[in-house]
Structure formats: C-alpha cells, structure tokens
C-alpha cells in the first residue's frame, strides 16, 4: 500500500514492522559478534555496560531514527531533509541521511562475506549429518584441530570465499528487488518466527547438555575492575551495531511505518528483543563451549571454530550444528536485507528508476567491495587501503570497512541524529511522532539532547585516540 501522494510503500501491519525491525537488529551482531566481544572483553563487566548503553544511548537514538523516517515517509536523506524543511532548518542536514546510506552500503558489502561463511558451515553440517548420522556427535573421529582448521581452510580458498559472498548477496538482492511487502516483509514474517523457534530449542539444548551454571556466572558476574575504557568502547560499538543504528537502516524502515504506530513503544520492543536475543545467544553458546573445556575468549573464532568442536562431544551434534547455522543464516539474511534496502530506496527514489534496477546497481557495487573483502583473507591479505592512517595501519580491506563504519560512521551518524532531533527539529513535530508522554518523554528528550551526544563524543574521541 502506498502512502498518500508519496508513491512510498508501507508495512502491512504494526507487527510486520516490528518483525522487520527486529529482523534487522537481530543478526550476526547478536549470534557471532556479541558472544565474541563479551568473551574477549572479560564477560560480566562488558555485558552490564552493554545493557547500560542499550538503555541510555541505543534506545533514545533508535526512537530518533525511526521517528525521522516516519515523519519523512521517504528514503533516509530525503526524510531528514523533509523534517529539516518542516522545522525551518537548513536542508543541508540531509547529509546525516546520506552518510548513513553510504555506511549501510559499506557494511552490507562485508556483512555478506560473513553471511557466506555461515552458508559454508550449513554445507559442512549437512555433509557431516550424512556421514555421522542423526544421533551421534558431530565430526565423528575427526581431530579437533581438523575442525578448527575448517575456517582457515575456507579463508585460504579465494574462489570459494568470493562465490559464497556473492551467493549470499544475490539472495539478499532477490528479496529487496521484490519490494517492501512481498520481499522484505515476507522474509521477516516467515523467517523471524522460524529463527525464534530454532533459537529457543538450541538455548534449551545448551542449558541441559552444556555447562549452564558456568556460562551464567561468566556472563553475569560483574567484576568492575575489568571495566576499562577499551571495554566500554567495545560495548557501545556493539550496542550500536546490534541495534542497526547510525547507518540509516532504522530510518528507512521507520519510513514504511503507518501513522498510527506508536514509535516509542515499538522502539522499546525492538531494543528488548534484540538485547534478549544477544543475552540468550551467550547463554546458548557459552554452556556448550565450556562443557567442551574450551576458552570463552576465542573472539571471532568462537562461533565458527569453538562451537563446531563443542558439537563433537554432544548428542545430536551434527543435527544441532546444522540447525544452529540455519538459524544464524535466517538472522543474517533479515539484517542484510535492511542494509541493502537503505541505499536501494535512496537510489530508486532519488533517480526515479525501477526498484529492480536500483537493487542491481547497489548490489553490484557491494559485490565489488565484497570481492575485495573476501580476498583480504587470502590473495590480498597485505593490502592495507588506509594504512597511512595510524588507526588503520596494517588493517586489511575487510577490517578497514568494519573499523571505518563502527568507529567513525556509526558514532558520528548518531551524534548528528541526536543534535538534529534534540536541538534543530521542531519540538512540536517531534512530540507528535514519538508516542511518549509524561516522565518518559522528558527523560527521552534529556537523553537525546545531553546524555547521548556527550557520551558518544567522548567515546568517539577515545576510539580515535585508541
């Protein structure tokens, strides 16, 4: 259904909007990045600070972003421009949306690389299921170093990496090209419930067969001596990545929301669901890893290397491994779709071209960057695109894109969003959109005006210096 006069599509219902936005938020950030970051940053203190960041910074910024989108009913730069114009402010603020769209494009390109690894592990567990059978542990009779070597083995194969990357991107493009209701909404409405069912089964499985007590103690024992500047920076970066903030994704989805959707309430639901999944992902993965006597601090290798080793010793290991990676695939796809939608909506609305053509143009660009990212694990490992900047010295293409978006685009985008919504935009227009009243409204405004930009500025400076 198009909104009056805008030619713009809308979600078919409030629950479709919630599922799509939760689908955008819940992804590799929850299943792969959160446990890795928690493990590398000492567990409990990181987790507590992360929750703190979600409530005090993430949630207010999330509401600000969907609100800009809903007011504008257009792609992100255009939505910001419309709110600026309606507030008699400079339309130059649309740069905030343009930066976000560009950042979403950059994230998309390397997100699909990791999506490709997930697809690879689905293949690994399917073939293992045929070899090992249904009930036994995964990878029967194989040496753990062998299982650990699957990931470096994949990294060493440039052709396979590129193929998987482009395959994942192509699936993402297929759904975005179909449009909001029959593509993006379809993915969210079918895959998110399936994701939740699998997720619950695996968490229960982890709790009963793994070392649940140790995992709870690890994640929820707060040792404040471990709360260093670096840990705080990692936590806020993770909160932003996980909630899809600072990069126009939530503005774009907000633009498809109907006028009668209460945005304050909806943002709360998205934040609670996303954080709940991150916590439960920790409670699913760490018991299994601890039960196998493996370390929590394996970082990015936790999901792709430690977990498959841990499945070796568990009943139904191959089956659970397969279910786990299918579940992660669903979560990653609903996120990559939102990453592609933000720049695609911009291109087809701005240049008035068919959605299909815009999807091909944006997807084609992401494919080029994706190939460079895939090759940065093998043939182009020594290529450091921003090596002349100390912050990115000896950083390969993949890590440069990750670093530039997480350390620069996301915090700068969020600071500008807070200044725009808190200080520049017309208060009356903002109050009409946000769905909050009383103390909640006052608190949100104070957070957006003072706490969030100040905290983000400190974090940005710390990040740049560090």
- Closest distance of CB 277 from ligand PFF, Å: 9
Please report how close the Cβ of residue 45 comes to ligand PFF at its closest, in angstroms.
Answer: 21
Q: Is 282 in the site for ligand PFF (CB under 6 A)?
A: no
Q: Of the two residues 316 and 409, which places its CB atom closer to ligand PFF in the complex?
A: 409
Q: Is there binding between residue 344 and ligand PFF (CB under 6 A)?
A: no
Give the nearer residue to ligand PFF in terms of CB position, either 107 or 455: 107
Closer residue to ligand PFF in complex, CB, 27/317: 27
Task: Report the SS3 class of residue 9.
Answer: strand
Q: Ramachandran region of residue 133, left (φ > 0), alpha (ψ -120 to 50) or beta?
A: left
Cα separation, 180 vs 170, whole angstroms = 17
The answer to whether the beta carbons of residues 31 and 328 sit under 8 Å apart is: yes
The correct pick among 249, 254, 317, 453 for binding ligand PFF (CB under 6 A) is 249
Measuring CA to CA, how many Å separate 370 from each of 96, 169, 184, 277, 298? 25, 9, 22, 27, 25
Q: Which long-range contacts link 152-158 to residues 24+ away (Cβ below 8 Å)?
A: 154/117, 154/120, 155/377, 155/378, 156/377, 156/378, 157/378, 158/374, 158/375, 158/377, 158/378, 158/379
Least Cβ distance, residue 159 to ligand PFF (angstroms):
26
Selected binder of ligand PFF within 104, 147, 188, 448 (CB under 6 A): 104
Asked if 335 and 23 count as a contact pair (C-beta separation under 8 A), the reply is: yes
Instruction: Round to whole Å and give the CA distance between 9 and 25.
Output: 21
315: CB partners within 8 A, 6+ apart: 135, 136, 137, 209
Contact between 74 and 82 (Cβ < 8 Å): yes
Asked if 25 is part of the footprint of ligand PFF (rule: CB under 6 A), the reply reads yes
CA 92 to chain centroid, in Å, comes to: 28
Of the candidate residues 80, 247, 279, 456, the single one contacting ligand PFF (CB under 6 A): 247
Interacting residue with ligand PFF among 266, 338, 359, 396 (CB under 6 A): 338
The stretch near ligand PFF (CB under 6 A) out of 26-34, 305-313, 316-324, 457-465 is: 26-34
Q: To the nearest whole angstrom, how small is the minimum distance from the Cβ of residue 113 to ligand PFF? A: 13
Please identify, among the stretches 82-90, 163-171, 241-249, 441-449, the one whose residues bind ligand PFF according to the rule CB under 6 A.
Answer: 241-249
The helix/strand/coil state of 116 is helix
Among 10, 24, 94, 318, interactor with ligand PFF by CB under 6 A: 24
Q: Which residue's CB comes closest to ligand PFF?
A: 29
CB of residue 161 to ligand PFF, shortest distance in Å:
20
Q: Report CA-CA distances (Å) from 322 to 118, 121, 124.
A: 10, 8, 8
Which of 57, 59, 107, 257: binder of ligand PFF (CB under 6 A)? 107
Instruction: Tell me if 241 contacts ligand PFF by CB under 6 A.
Output: yes
Interface residue list for ligand PFF (CB under 6 A): 24-25, 27-30, 104, 107, 241-242, 244, 247, 249, 335, 338-339
């Amino acid at each position: 259904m198009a909104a009056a006069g805008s030619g713009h599509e809308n979600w078919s219902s409030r629950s479709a909007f919630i599922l799509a936005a939760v689908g955008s938020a819940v992804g590799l950030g929850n299943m792969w990045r959160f446990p890795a970051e928690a493990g590398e940053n000492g567990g409990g203190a990181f987790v507590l600070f992360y929750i703190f960041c979600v409530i005090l910074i993430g949630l207010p910024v999330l509401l600000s972003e969907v609100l800009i989108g809903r007011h504008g009913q257009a792609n992100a730069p255009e939505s910001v421009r419309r709110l600026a114009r309606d507030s008699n402010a400079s339309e130059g603020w649309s740069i905030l949306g343009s930066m976000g769209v560009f950042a979403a494009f950059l994230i998309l390109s390397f997100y699909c690389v990791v999506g490709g690894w997930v697809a690879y592990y689905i293949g690994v567990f399917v073939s293992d299921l045929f070899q090992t059978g249904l009930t036994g542990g995964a990878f029967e009779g194989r040496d753990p170093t062998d299982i650990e070597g699957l990931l470096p083995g994949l990294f060493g194969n440039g052709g396979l990496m590129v193929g998987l990357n482009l395959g994942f991107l192509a699936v993402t493009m297929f759904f975005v090209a179909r449009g909001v209701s029959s593509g993006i909404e379809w993915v969210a409405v079918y895959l998110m419930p399936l994701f939740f069912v699998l997720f619950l089964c695996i968490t229960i499985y982890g709790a009963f067969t793994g070392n649940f007590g140790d995992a709870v103690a690890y994640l929820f024992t707060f040792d404040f001596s471990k709360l260093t500047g670096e840990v705080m920076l990692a936590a806020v970066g993770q909160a932003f990545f996980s909630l899809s903030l600072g990069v126009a994704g939530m503005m774009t989805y907000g633009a498809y929301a109907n006028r009668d959707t209460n945005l304050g309430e909806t943002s709360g639901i998205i934040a609670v669901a996303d954080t709940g999944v991150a916590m439960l992902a920790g409670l699913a993965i760490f018991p299994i890893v601890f039960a196998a006597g493996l370390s929590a601090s394996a970082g990015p290798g936790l999901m792709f290397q430690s977990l498959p080793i841990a499945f070796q010793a568990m009943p139904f290991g191959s089956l659970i491994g397969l279910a786990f990676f299918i579940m992660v695939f669903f979560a990653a796809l609903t996120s990559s779709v939102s990453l592609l939608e933000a720049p695609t909506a911009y291109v087809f609305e701005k240049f008035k071209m068919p959605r299909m053509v815009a999807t091909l143009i944006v997807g084609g660009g992401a494919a080029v960057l994706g190939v460079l990212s895939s090759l940065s694990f093998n043939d182009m490992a020594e290529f450091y695109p921003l090596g002349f900047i100390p912050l990115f010295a000896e950083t390969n293409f993949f890590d440069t894109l990750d670093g530039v978006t997480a350390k620069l685009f996301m915090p700068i985008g969020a600071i500008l969003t807070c200044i725009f919504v808190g200080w520049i935009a017309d208060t009356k227009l903002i109050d009409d959109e946000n769905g909050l009243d009383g103390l909640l409204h006052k608190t949100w405004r104070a957070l957006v005006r003072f706490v969030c930009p100040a905290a983000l500025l400190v974090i940005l400076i710390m990040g740049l210096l560090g």
